[in-house]
Structure formats: structure tokens, C-alpha cells
């Protein structure tokens, strides 16, 4: 069950007020709230007794922290009047901040769960991402389709990055057109390019970013296709893609199987969750953004 945005806003406002004076950052998107503290740790909060959504949110934030090289346990919490089942993830509606703070204190065990520097890096990172991770369920992401001009730039970029190496996928040699095709390898390439690009770019405190959207496309090889791409600058995307391609090039071949597997893992992480992606129009997470 998805959490109603107005309910989540109320919970976020309550947490911001009740945690005032304590070292907590309170971030929110339309699916969950993120709490970050160098003294208490990192947590996600949802409402509507959505235990499944709480765990998915925690895994998502932990993965995003991992992109920055931050290894931290993210604790899920559900605002509910229930007290049975699923451990201590349920917190009382009338004592949300108190219950979460008490639980996180116990889990921290007196040791700082995350350094101040890493907490601030994660906050900066999520401030560029959390608020922009999802389109309205059932509605297309507000990301424009690729233009013919940009497709030509992608082709030239891929050709230069490949040099004399031939691209291969699953033991089959493919063309450059296949490599940057919206209904084939462009989605895995964009995902890996973004994940590789994010940590060093944010670590250097530079600005800019890009986002892409994918949708279910049953007639395609992967079952998904890229439906849109937006960027602070085309060069950001091209540099990231070129670096990702070169990373796979060796001895005359560019073997892209790891990127295909990473995309499959990514789809597996979010498949079937309407809280993260719409059923047909899936807004791929805004990756590597500090716009």
C-alpha cells in the first residue's frame, strides 16, 4: 500500500519539529522519509503500516550510500498502531520521534554508526536525488525523449570510446547502433555510467547531473527501453558513457555482459513495486545529480 503524500508530509513535519535541536537531517520524497544522523545513524520512515515499503526504502538508501563508498545499516520504520510482528520497526503514531530515536540509540550501541563527513556527503547526495526519484504512478516521467541531435552525439561518442574494439553482448558481436539503441543497450549503459560517475563527481563538489527514464517494452530484447533523458549538460552524459565503454574494452573487444547483469539486478530491485516505479512508465532514479 502506497503512503499518501499528505500523510507523509505530516509525519515529516512532526519529525522535523520533535527532532529539533538533535543532530538529524530529515529528507522526504513522495514514498518515504530519510533520517540521517552521525550520532544515531540512518533510517527510513513510511506510514500506512507499509512494512514492505519500509524495507524497500531502507535497501534503496543503503544502495545509494554504497555508491558513495559509505557502508551503513539503514533502519526501516513504519508509523502504525500495530505492535505485533516484524521486530521493532513499528513506531507509535503519537510518539514517532521518541520511538525512532530510542530504537536507533539502542542499535547504535554507543558507537557512531556513520562519520560526520559521510553523513554530510550522504545528505548532499540525497538532497539532489531523493526529491526527484519518481513520477506519479501511471503517469509518464517528466523527462523529454532523446533528440536526433543527441543520438548523433551518442553515436560519435560511442565510436570514439570503442576505438578499434568491437562491442560484444552475451557472446554476440553487436553494432554501435545496438550499443546506443534506446530499446537495447542504452539503458544498461546509462545506469552503469551514472553509478560510476556519481561518487567522484559529488566528492569533488561539482554541480550538474542527468536523469533518464525507462518503460516496460515487451517486444524488446531486454523488456525495457529508454523513454527520456535530461542533463544539466550533454557533455556530462557523454563523458560518463565514454568512460563506461572504455572500462570494458580490452584486447580488441568491449564485453558488456557485466552492464547487462547490473541492469538486470537494478530491475530486480525495483520490479513489481508501484511505490518506486509506475506499472508501465518507470522513472529511473535521478542518478548523479546536484542540480
- In the structure, what pLDDT confidence band is assigned to residue 3 with cuts at 50, 70 and 90? very low
* Pairing assessment for the beta strands 166-169 and 253-255 based on DSSP bridges: parallel
| Maximum mean pLDDT: which of 127-136, 205-214, 232-241 | 232-241
Q: What does the pLDDT look like over 132-150, one tens digit per residue?
A: 344 444 454 567 889 999 9
Nearest Cα residue to 125 out of 47, 54, 195, 40: 195
Q: Average of pLDDT values for 37-56?
A: 86
pLDDT at residue 20 in the model: 86
Higher pLDDT: 141 or 102? It is: 102
Nearest Cα residue to 122 out of 53, 45, 191, 41: 41
**Rounded-to-5 percentages of helix, strand, coil across the chain:** 45, 20, 40
Q: Average of pLDDT values for 15-34?
A: 88
| Residue 225 contacts residue 189 (beta carbons within 8 Å) | no
C-alpha cell at 212: 533518464
Amino acid at each position: 500500500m502506497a503512503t499518501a503524500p499528505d500523510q507523509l508530509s505530516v509525519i515529516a513535519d512532526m519529525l522535523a519539529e520533535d527532532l529539533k535541536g538533535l543532530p538529524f537531517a530529515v529528507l522526504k520524497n513522495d514514498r518515504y522519509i530519510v533520517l540521517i544522523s552521525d550520532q544515531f545513524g540512518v533510517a527510513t520512515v513510511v506510514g500506512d503500516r507499509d512494512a514492505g515499503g519500509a524495507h524497500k526504502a531502507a535497501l534503496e538508501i543503503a544502495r545509494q550510500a554504497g555508491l558513495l563508498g559509505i557502508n551503513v545499516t539503514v533502519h526501516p520504520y513504519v508509523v502504525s498502531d500495530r505492535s505485533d510482528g516484524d521486530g521493532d520497526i513499528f513506531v507509535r503514531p503519537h510518539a514517532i520521534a521518541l520511538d525512532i530515536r530510542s530504537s536507533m540509540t539502542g542499535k547504535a550501541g554507543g558507537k557512531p554508526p556513520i562519520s560526520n563527513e559521510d553523513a554530510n556527503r550522504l545528505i548532499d547526495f540525497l538532497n539532489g536525488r531523493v526529491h526527484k526519484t519518481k513520477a506519479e504512478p501511471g503517469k509518464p516521467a517528466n523527462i523529454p525523449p532523446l533528440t536526433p541531435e543527441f543520438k548523433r552525439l551518442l553515436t560519435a561518442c560511442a565510436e570514439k570510446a570503442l576505438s578499434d574494439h568491437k562491442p560484444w553482448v552475451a557472446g554476440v558481436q553487436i553494432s554501435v547502433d545496438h550499443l546506443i539503441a534506446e530499446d537495447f543497450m542504452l539503458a544498461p549503459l546509462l545506469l552503469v555510467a551514472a553509478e560510476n560517475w556519481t561518487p567522484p563527481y559529488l566528492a569533488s563538489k561539482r554541480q550538474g547531473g542527468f536523469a533518464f527514464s525507462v518503460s516496460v517494452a515487451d517486444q524488446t530484447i531486454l523488456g525495457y527501453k529508454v523513454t527520456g533523458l535530461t542533463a544539466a549538460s550533454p557533455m556530462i552524459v557523454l563523458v560518463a558513457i565514454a568512460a563506461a565503454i572504455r572500462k570494458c574494452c580490452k584486447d580488441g573487444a568491449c564485453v558488456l555482459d557485466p552492464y547487462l547483469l547490473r541492469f538486470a539486478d537494478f530491475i530486480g530491485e525495483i520490479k513489481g513495486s508501484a511505490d518506486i516505479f509506475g506499472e508501465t512508465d518507470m522513472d529511473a532514479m535521478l542518478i548523479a545529480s546536484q542540480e
